[in-house]
Amino acid sequence: MKSNLSKQNAVSFVVGFLFAIGLAVSGMTQPQKVIGFLNPWDWDPSLLFVMLGAVGIHLISYPLVKRRSSPLLDTKWHIPTRKDVTARLILGSALFGIGWGLAGFCPGPALTSLASGDVRTVLFVGAMIFGMLLFRKTEPHLKLRD
């Protein structure tokens, strides 16, 4: 079991590293790219092409991968089965979108951008972590339970 976990961790690291490189090469670690995509008066379509590339690869590879009875390094697939729309889902999506639009970062590119040492990135990631901890602390008291 430990050997399989080590393989999973190694594969996760490599995939995460490749994702970070892809974000950097595509320019998606630069908040101005995201904000430019969201600005209808000075629209930058580069994020659209990145999204289309990712969705295209997913549309081709997902059905092929799902033909397997299980993943290579696990005994079963871990795919969400819930399809209901909850207040928690709507509120989380809205907060994510607002943060993404205001800062130009979502969590993956923000973590990747930490390597730049930019103070704005460090502040964003710090605020993101603080928000996660705050949510974890207050979640039992909120009426957003699913």
Q: Is 104 exposed, middle or buried (0-12, 13-18, 19+ CB in 10 A)?
A: buried
Close Cβ partners of 103 (under 8 Å, ≥ 6 residues apart): 31, 110, 124
Q: Is 72 helix (H, G, I), strand (E, B) or coil?
A: coil
- pLDDT single digits (tens) 99-143: 888 888 888 889 989 988 899 999 999 999 998 898 888 877 766
Distances (CA, A) of 6 to 2, 18, 69, 97, 146: 6, 18, 22, 35, 33
Residue 58 has pLDDT above 90, yes or no: yes
pTM: 0.71
- pLDDT single digits (tens) 9-32: 899 899 999 988 988 888 888 888
Which of the pair, 138 or 94, is modelled with greater confidence?
94
Kindly report the backbone phi and psi dihedral angles of residue 21, in degrees, each rounded to the nearest multiple of 5, phi listed first. -65, -45
Closest CA to 90 of 133, 34, 144: 144
On whether the CB atoms of residues 113 and 121 are closer than 8 A, the answer is yes
DSSP state of 56: H
Tokens of 60: 């081709």
